[in-house]
């Protein structure tokens, strides 16, 4: 997803992970484009043409955006723009992000990429492929284990080896049906002075929530400063134990009180925090009609007394009530097998005791393709020589493997669909249980 740069969030690289300055991939030279340079302004033209949703159609709008970018750049050392040059001419580019992602409880250095764009006059010459390959090469070189992006076209990135993340569930819950037994008197509006607590609460949840990206202070500050967002926190004593960040979405022009509360983040550490925040939202029902909850929690409907969306539509006979719509967004990709195994070395894959040989198909990125063996001891993985006798062999494509590692798909489903093949079908139950994980969440825009 492409959003104003001020809303993106990431963290800076440590010194040993500093970015290389330039590289050649195929016929394309890739190098960092500095925000103050005229090349950056040309890059903005390419991006604005590729993403009309940015609404930067005039030169004045693009100049204003350039100025905003230049101002923000010092606050955002974790991200930079890489230009693609052919014969010295800027023909495309992308924005790269240094990220820390919670994968199965481990904090994993990962690369993020966004704003992939190729000039209108230069499409279908392999430039996007070179950009994405260059992104993978760079982050592999710097020790990253995973890559993550928001796919404007999932099929485009699927071909490049990215696997789906979890689906987002969007519930439109009439406020009057929300539970009202929470302690809403412990909820208060949050403002800029609460930035530290706001950040700490998010990062405590991040540390134990699969997929969430670590966040830095400036991101929390921005959320509390930006007038389009309203945030409300639940306090357990002095501790901010949960918060709700919403935006007001207006109803139809001829209505008064049909506006919605559109949830950007619903973070809670305890059931009491969740109940209080929902009760607080309910107390706004004189002014707002629905709470639009966006969540990757597949069980969220159990938290509601009535998860129907108010349309009273039955989807399938005899009766299936419409509850929510769904969408796919983030996609994930393994970048380096050894780095991934090292990063996940302290994780438990159930209580699996076995040597699993994994044959990874990766037509797009040769460094990852091939066969590796992993020994699991009481669930903990470690690399062993590929020639080690294996209990079972798993053949899988890198996109599905990445989704499996992230927990967005069950192994048993991939096997059922013929997308993963086990040499011994009687191992399926054990391996499926071992790879099972909470579906990954992502609340960071980039």
SS3 at position 219: helix
Q: Does 126 bind ligand COA (CB under 6 A)?
A: yes
Place of tokens 């096997």: 415
Q: Does 42 bind ligand COA (CB under 6 A)?
A: no
CB 152 → ligand COA: shortest distance, Å? 4
CB 314 → ligand COA: shortest distance, Å? 36
- Indicate the residue whose CB is closest to ligand COA: 128
Nearer to ligand COA, 26 or 174 (CB): 26
Side-chain-side CA neighbours of 59 within 13 Å: the count stands at 1
163 phi and psi angles, rounded to 5 deg:
-105, 155
Cis ω on the peptide bond leading into residue 318 (within 30° of 0)? Answer: yes
Q: Does 117 bind ligand COA (CB under 6 A)?
A: yes
Concatenating the DSSP letter of every residue in 327-351 gives: E--EEEEE--HHHHHHHTTT---TT
What residues have CB less than 8 Å from 58, skipping those under 6 apart? none
SS3 at position 55: coil
* Residue span binding ligand COA (CB under 6 A) among the ranges 10-18, 59-67, 71-79, 125-133: 125-133
Q: Does 230 bind ligand COA (CB under 6 A)?
A: no
Nearer to ligand COA, 23 or 203 (CB): 23
* Residue span binding ligand COA (CB under 6 A) among the ranges 6-14, 115-123, 397-405, 425-433: 115-123
Q: Does 343 bind ligand COA (CB under 6 A)?
A: no
CB 363 → ligand COA: shortest distance, Å? 11
Q: Does 127 bind ligand COA (CB under 6 A)?
A: yes
Q: Does 153 bind ligand COA (CB under 6 A)?
A: yes
Q: Does 331 bind ligand COA (CB under 6 A)?
A: no
Helix residue ranges, H only, 391-445 = 398-406, 411-416, 428-435
* Cβ-based neighbour number of residue 438 at 10 Å: 19
Nearer to ligand COA, 198 or 446 (CB): 446
Cβ–Cβ under 8 Å, residues 257 and 289: yes
Closest to 267 (Cα-Cα) out of 217, 214, 207, 201: 201
Q: Does 50 bind ligand COA (CB under 6 A)?
A: yes
Q: Does 399 bind ligand COA (CB under 6 A)?
A: no
What's the DSSP call for residue 54?
A: G
CA distance 330 to 386: 31
CB 155 → ligand COA: shortest distance, Å? 8
Q: Render the burial of 355-385: b for 16+ CB within 10 Å, e for the rest.
A: bbbbebebebbeebeeebbbbbeeebbebbe
380-384 and 230-236: which strand pairing?
Answer: unpaired
Q: Does 124 bind ligand COA (CB under 6 A)?
A: yes
* Residue span binding ligand COA (CB under 6 A) among the ranges 110-118, 183-191, 194-202, 407-415: 110-118
* Residue span binding ligand COA (CB under 6 A) among the ranges 136-144, 148-156, 177-185, 412-420: 148-156
CB 118 → ligand COA: shortest distance, Å? 4
- According to DSSP, the residues that pair with 374 across neighbouring strands are 356, 383
Q: How many residues bind ligand COA (CB under 6 A)?
A: 18
CA distance 427 to 350: 14
* Cβ-based neighbour number of residue 317 at 10 Å: 6
* Residue span binding ligand COA (CB under 6 A) among the ranges 126-134, 273-281, 292-300, 376-384: 126-134
Q: Does 116 bind ligand COA (CB under 6 A)?
A: yes
Nearer to ligand COA, 119 or 381 (CB): 119
- Binding residues (CB under 6 A) for ligand COA: these are 50-51, 116-118, 123-129, 151-153, 156-157, 159
């Amino acid at each position: 997803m492409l959003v104003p740069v001020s809303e993106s969030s990431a963290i800076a690289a440590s010194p040993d992970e500093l970015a290389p300055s330039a590289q050649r991939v195929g016929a394309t030279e890739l190098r960092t484009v500095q925000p103050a340079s005229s090349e950056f302004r040309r890059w903005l033209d390419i991006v604005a043409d590729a993403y009309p949703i940015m609404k930067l159609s005039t030169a004045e709008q693009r100049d204003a955006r350039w100025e905003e970018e230049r101002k923000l750049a010092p606050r955002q050392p974790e991200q930079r723009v890489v230009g693609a040059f052919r014969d010295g001419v800027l023909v495309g580019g992308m924005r790269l992000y240094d990220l820390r992602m919670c994968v199965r409880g481990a904090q994993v250095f990962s690369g993020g990429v966004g704003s992939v764009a190729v000039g209108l006059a230069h499409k279908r010459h392999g430039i996007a492929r070179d950009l994405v390959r260059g992104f993978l090469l760079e982050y592999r070189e710097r020790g990253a284990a995973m890559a993550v992006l928001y796919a404007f076209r999932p099929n485009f990135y699927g071909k490049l080896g990215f696997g789906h993340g979890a689906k987002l569930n969007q519930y439109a819950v009439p406020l009057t049906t929300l539970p009202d037994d929470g302690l809403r008197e412990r909820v208060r509006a949050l403002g800029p002075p609460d930035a530290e607590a706001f950040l700490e609460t998010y990062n405590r949840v991040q540390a134990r929530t699969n997929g969430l990206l670590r966040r830095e202070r400036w991101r929390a500050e921005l959320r509390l400063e930006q007038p389009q967002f309203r945030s409300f926190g639940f306090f357990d004593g002095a501790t901010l134990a949960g918060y709700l960040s919403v935006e007001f979405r207006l109803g139809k022009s001829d209505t008064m009180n049909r506006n919605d509360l559109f949830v950007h983040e619903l973070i809670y550490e305890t059931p009491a925090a969740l109940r209080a925040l929902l009760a607080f939202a309910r107390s706004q029902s004189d002014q707002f009609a629905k709470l639009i909850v966006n969540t990757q929690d597949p069980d969220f409907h159990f938290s509601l007394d009535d998860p129907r969306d108010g349309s009273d539509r039955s989807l399938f006979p005899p009766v299936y009530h419409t509850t929510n719509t769904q969408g796919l967004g983030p996609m994930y990709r393994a970048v380096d097998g050894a780095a991934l195994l090292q990063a996940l070395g302290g994780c438990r894959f159930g209580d699996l005791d076995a040597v699993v040989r994994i044959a990874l198909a990766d037509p797009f990125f040769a460094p990852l393709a091939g066969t590796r063996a992993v020994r699991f001891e009481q669930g903990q993985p470690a690399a062993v020589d590929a020639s080690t006798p294996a209990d079972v062999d798993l053949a899988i494509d890198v996109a599905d493997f990445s989704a499996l590692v992230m927990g967005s798909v069950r192994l048993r489903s991939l096997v059922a669909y013929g997308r993963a093949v086990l040499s011994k079908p009687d191992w399926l139950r054990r391996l499926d249980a071992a790879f099972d994980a909470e579906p990954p969440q992502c609340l960071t825009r980039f």
